[in-house]
Chain A
Amino acid sequence: MFDFFFNLPAVVQSLAKGLAVILVIFPMASLCTMAERKVSAWIQGRPGPNRTIVPWAAYVPVAGRMLQRLGLFQLMADGLKFLVKEEPVPGHVNKPYFILAPIVAMIPALTTVTVVPFGAYLVGGHIVPLMLANVDVGLLAVFAVSSLGIYALILAGWASNSKYPFLGGVRASAQLISYELSLTLAVLPVFLWINAPGTAGSLSLVRVVEFQSGTSGWGGAWFLFTMPLSALIFMISLFAETNRQPFDMPESEADLVGGFHTEYGAFKWALFFVAEYLNMIIGSAVFTLLFLGGWNPLPWLPLATLAGWLHLGGHPLILGVISIGIFIGKIAALIFLFMWVRWTVPRFRYDQVMRIGWQKLLPLAIANLVAYALGIALLTR
């Protein structure tokens, strides 16, 4: 079975892998929208969407009812609605850019997936990561491509040609650029630590996980424990970068109607929505890889040890699925954190967002970087 796959032309292999990843991550993004509604409902003491059901599912005794109460069919109904409802394009918009904006939002969101490893299996005791492109630039590629996503918001805000979207777009650009600095500075200690001087440097995310795969001492500790401040700054910046509450300035419903997507409707709006959740998923994935040990089940318990216990070293398929499961579990926990925070913390004022970004987070990130640089220099001397 594996031989057949590996004997295929490289292009076909890559296409199949890419398709598989999209087939997993796209439903995940739409599941997130439903999870968001359910989490918000449960936090507010409501049941959330729980009525929609398709006729054939109603005949399934227990499971049908359970899925109905979980709102899974509501998800399908929403998707169908977005597909078939009328797509209004207001008369006053700049049409080509207006249509381009949601596309520009989706492309970076889906492109960053390529360099994010999401699982691993063992070949002769060596970890082989599951990813689309194991490139050395790794994290740099994620940052570079994901920051292109800002253009979607600016484009949407500007092309809408009305004041609320414009304000949303302006806010988005200012906020995303501000927090990108702290985001990047916060992860530098991690790469200072894993790239010993004199060896070939790498920004690969696989390398980061390998460093967290030890069984004892510093090696097995996830970077969350050794670099808590970095993790905190990264997390806060991630909230800001993905426009999540309490940083959802670009679309603050109370003061900007809908922000940059005020003029959008139907499928174009849904694309923005899905792109936002895709960004969240990728952000959570990067956070997991950097600070939560990637696909390792527990600190000081790497995947290889687990495979040894379960005698799965020779079963790459099962081990791969397990590692992906662990990885997706961690992402799901982080996504829940995102939602949990959203339904807890009120939105910051715009000047507060700017003050936190420039006056608090950025100096803190720089101080953190300097402190870790000194510490690592002393440790590795």
Chain B
Amino acid sequence: MAVVPIERKPLTFAERTYLPQIISGLKITLRHFFKPNITLEYPEQRPAIPPGYRGVPTLVMDPNGREKCVSCQLCEFVCPPKAIRITPGALPEDGAVAHVEKGPRAFDIDMLRCIYCGLCEEVCPEEAIFLQNQYSMSGTSREEMVNHKERLYELGGTLPDRHFKWDRKKAAEEAGNAH
């Protein structure tokens, strides 16, 4: 690549007085003076959360209102700061989820440890744990900052199932071609 030496021009007299530069600067700031503010006035106005945002991890239910988590504990194992603690337990034989082997008896996420990495959401085979839109957590004690199972479901709610994994599986079984 050719090197093109460019001569640095000496400053003109007007430039050396520094005043035209100040005036052009003043013009710029005056323009900004009359521009609308760009501040988001936080508690009243909330930022728009983009899809894929990693907020507080939550547990979600399937469209039929059933628990999705099967207590496989993969999220517990993958969690880098060891924020998740699951106590698995057997499910009652006669319930709506009788076909599932187990479910979490207790599911705690310590939000003081959570680093919002999203590995739990990524690793979950049942798509039961999601990092959703909530971005601010506050509490007055360490206990308060641990989200228990009820709180996790309360925060998560029901998410629309994107590909109806179980519905499709059931339909295939009914059509006689279970895998």
Q: Which residues of A contact B (CB under 8 A)?
A: 39, 41-47, 340-341, 343-345
Contacts and interface: CB of A to CB of B under 8 A. Distances in A.
Contacts of A42: 32-33, 37
Given A341-B22, A345-B22, A47 B37 contact: yes
B175 interface: no
B174 interface: no
B166 to A, nearest CB: 50
A45 B39 contact: yes
Contacts of A46: 37-39
A61 B35 CA distance: 27
B29 interface: yes
Interface string B14-35: 0000000010011011101101
B41 interface: yes
Given A42-B33, A43-B33, A45-B32, A344 B25 contact: yes
A47 B41 contact: yes
B33 A344 contact: no
A340 B32 contact: no
Contact of A45 (B30, B35, B41): B35
B14 to A, nearest CB: 14
Given A341-B26, A343-B29, 5 more contacts: A42-B33, A43-B32, A45-B32, A47-B39, A345-B22
A45 B25 CA distance: 16
Nearest to B26: A344
Contacts of B28: 344
A44 B30 CA distance: 10
A75 to B, nearest CB: 20
A343 B26 CA distance: 9
Q: Which 3 A-B pairs have the closest CB atoms?
A: A344-B29, A344-B25, A45-B38
B24 to A, nearest CB: 10
A47 B38 CA distance: 8
Contacts of B32: 42-45
A311 to B, nearest CB: 38
A46 B33 CA distance: 10
B93 to A, nearest CB: 59
Contacts of B37: 41-42, 45-47
A44 B33 CA distance: 7
Interface in B8-60: 22, 25-26, 28-30, 32-33, 35-39, 41
Contacts of A39: 33
Contacts of B35: 45
A340 B39 contact: no
A340 B29 contact: yes
A340 B37 CA distance: 17
A46 B38 CA distance: 6
18 contacts: A39-B33, A42-B32, A43-B32, A43-B33, A44-B32, A45-B35, A45-B36, A45-B37, A45-B38, A45-B39, A46-B37, A340-B26, A340-B29, A340-B30, A341-B22, A341-B26, A344-B26, A344-B28
Contacts of A44: 32
A45 B41 CA distance: 12
Contacts of A45: 32, 35-39
Nearest to B43: A51
B71 to A, nearest CB: 47
A345 to B, nearest CB: 6
A344 B41 contact: no
A29 B38 CA distance: 29
A344 B22 contact: yes
Contacts of A341: 22, 26
Given A344-B22, A345-B22, A43 B39 contact: no
A56 B141 CA distance: 36
A194 B22 CA distance: 32
A43 B37 CA distance: 9
A62 B37 CA distance: 21
Contacts of B25: 344-345
B19 to A, nearest CB: 8
Contacts of A340: 26, 29-30, 33
A340 B30 CA distance: 8
A345 B39 CA distance: 23
B144 to A, nearest CB: 28
A141 B41 CA distance: 49
B104 to A, nearest CB: 44
A41 B28 CA distance: 15
B30 to A, nearest CB: 7
Contacts of B30: 340
Contact of A43 (B29, B36, B38, B41): B29
